[in-house]
Amino acid sequence: MARGSIVKRCLICKKNNAKCKHKEITYAVVYRIGKQQKWESAGKNKKDAERKLAEIISQINNGTFIKPQDILFKDFTVKWLDEYAKISVKPSTFQTYKIAINHHFIPSFGNFPLSYITTEKIQSFVSASSNSCSPKTVNNLITLLKTMFKFAKRWGYIRENPAMDIEHVRLEYREMDFLKPEEMQLLFKQAREPFKTLFLIAALTGMRRGEILALQWGDIDWNSNVIFVRRGIYWLPRKECAKDAIRWAFISPKSKRSIRAIVMSPKLKESLQIHRISSPVSPYDLVFCNSDGKPFDPDNLIKRHFLPALSFSGLKAVPFHSLRHSYTALLIAQGENIKFIQSQLGHSSIQTTLDRYGHLLPVNAIGVGERVDKQLFGSPANTVLTEHPQTSQNISKQEQNESVVSISNK
C-alpha cells in the first residue's frame, strides 16, 4: 500500500532541505512512486492538502495514477509556443500570446515547476493583474492560462488544470464610441485623399482595418455593387524583422463568417471609381497603397492621418474601429434586420451582434398589446365573434333572465 505525508514547507525551503520559516506557509503532499519521492504543492488549506493526498494514494493503489513530469513554467511556455501555438493560430494571435507570456506570466510563474502552480497562486496573480490591467486584458490572460494548462495536463506535466475554476472578472459597462452622421461628414471634409476614401469605406461597410488594407481591386464587383472580404493583413513587430525584410503578409480573415459580401452604396462606388483613376499601380492589386504599391503601415495610418483628421474636424479622438460601430449604428437606425447586420459585420454568431449592439436597437412598447390583438383577432369590431362559446351562452342566459324579471315587474 502506498503512503504519503503532508508537510508545511515552501518551494525555497524544500530546495534548501530546511523547515519553512516564511510567513506565507504553503502545504505540500509528499509520496513515493517506486523509489522516487515526489513533491506537489497543495495550497494554504490543510484540508485541501489532505484531500489531494488521499486522491493520489487511491490512484497509486488502483493503478490509475499519472506521474507528473518536472518542468519549469518558462520551459513549458517555449514548448507550448513552438509545438502548438505556432502551427495552430494566426501570426497576429501568436504574437499576442508571446507578449502575454513574456510580460505577464514569466515574471509571476517562470521559475516555478508546473506542479507548484496552484489555483490559489493563479487567483493571486489575477487579483494583482486587476490593479494594473483592464478587466478585458485580465480575462484574456485567464483564458490563455486555462488553454496552456489544458495542454500541460494533456501532455502529462500535471494531473489537474489549476486554472479551470478561475472565474473571469466583472466587466464594467463602457459606452461604445461611434460617430454620428454629421460628425462623419466633418471627418470626410478634413481628410485628404486617398485617406478620405479609406475612411469612407470603413464607415460605409464596417470593414476592419486589416481587411481594408488588404482589399484588392478584384474583390469589388462593380456590376452587383458588392465588396467581397477575402483576406486580412498582418504586420510583424519591427524588432523581430531584419532592416530590409518584408514586415507584412496576407492572412485569412478573423473567422469563417468574416469571409463575406458587403453591400456597396452608390456614394462609395462613385468614390472608389474616382480613387482608382489616381491611385498608384500596386503589384499586389491593392486598393489602398503607398507610392511603391505596398500596403500602408496601420500604425502610421492612425497616427499621421486618422487622428489628425479628427482633430482638425474638432471631434474627440476615437479608435479607428469606431467607424465600424458607426456603420452598425446607421444600419440599426434605418431598421435593418439584425441577421443582415450580422452578415455585413462578419460576426461568427448573432449573439455577438446582439451583445455589442443590442442597446442601440429601438425599444417601443407603445401599442404592442393592440397590435398583438389585431394580428390574432382582426379588427376590434370582429373580436366579439371569437369569444369563448361558454361565455356567449352565459351572456345570452343573463339577457333572458333580465327580460323575464322586467316582464314580471310590469
Whether residues 196 and 331 fall in one domain: yes
- CA 46 vs. chain centroid, Å, equals 38
Number of domains making up the chain:
4
Domain stops at, among 360, 383, 400: 360
Task: Give yes or no: residues 356 and 262 share one domain.
Answer: yes
Domain span at residue 405 reads 368-409
∠ CA 121-126-127, rounded to 5°? 95
- Burial (CB < 10 A; 0-12, 13-18, 19+), residue 125, is buried
Same domain, 301 and 400: no
User: Would you call 291 exposed, middle or buried from its count of C-beta atoms within 10 A (0-12, 13-18, 19+)?
Assistant: exposed
Verify that 254 and 299 share a domain, yes or no.
Answer: yes
Residue 247 maps to a domain: yes
Q: What is the domain-level CATH number for residue 281?
A: 1.10.443.10
What type of residue sits at position 61? N
Does residue 166 lie in a domain region?
no
**Residues constituting the chain:** 410
How many C-beta atoms lie closer than 10 Å to residue 74's C-beta? 15
Indicate whether 348 and 399 sit together in one domain.
Answer: no
User: ∠218-185-201 over CA atoms, to 5°?
Assistant: 15
Domain C-terminal end among 62, 83, 99: 62
Q: Which three cell numbers stand for residue 358?
A: 443590442
- Domain end position, chosen among 139, 154, 169: 154
- Is 127 in the same domain as 264? no
Q: CA–CA separation, 187 vs 178, rounded Å?
A: 12
Nearest CA among 394, 328, 402 for reference residue 358: 328
**Assigned domain for 36 exists:** yes
Evaluate whether residue 272 is within a structural domain.
yes
The answer to the question of residue 68 being in a domain is no
Rg from Cα positions in the chain = 32
DSSP, collapsed to helix, strand or coil, labels residue 376 as helix
Categorise residue 117: left if φ over 0, alpha if ψ from -120 to 50, beta otherwise.
beta
Same domain flag for 304 and 372: no
| CATH code (residue 136) | 1.10.150.130
- Per-residue confidence of the chain (410 residues) as pLDDT tens digits? 667 787 776 655 555 555 656 556 677 777 776 666 776 777 777 887 888 788 777 777 776 666 666 789 999 999 999 999 998 888 888 989 999 999 999 999 999 888 888 898 999 999 999 999 999 999 999 999 999 999 998 888 887 899 999 999 987 766 678 899 999 999 999 999 999 999 999 999 999 999 999 999 999 999 999 999 999 998 877 766 667 778 888 888 877 888 999 999 999 999 999 999 999 999 999 999 999 999 999 999 999 999 999 999 999 999 999 999 999 999 988 888 889 999 999 998 888 888 878 777 776 667 777 777 787 787 655 544 444 455 445 545 555 555 444 444 44
The answer to whether 227 touches 219, Cβ cutoff 8 Å, is yes
- Do 201 and 345 fall into the same domain? yes
- For position 12, what pLDDT does the model report? 55
Residue 9 forms part of a structural domain: yes
Distance CA 51, CA 64 (A): 17
Note whether 399 and 377 are same-domain residues.
yes
CB distance 134 to 174 below 8 Å: no
Report whether 1 contacts 61 (CB < 8 A).
yes
Instruction: Determine, yes or no, domain membership for 298.
Output: yes
User: Is residue 67 included in any domain, yes or no?
Assistant: no
d(CA 183, CA 97): 37
- Same structural domain, 254 and 383: no
State the Cα–Cα distance between residues 327 and 205, nearest whole angstrom. 7
Count each helix (H run) and each strand (E run) in the chain, helices first: 19, 8
Q: Do residue 35 and residue 127 come from a single domain?
A: no
Q: Same structural domain for residues 197 and 304?
A: yes
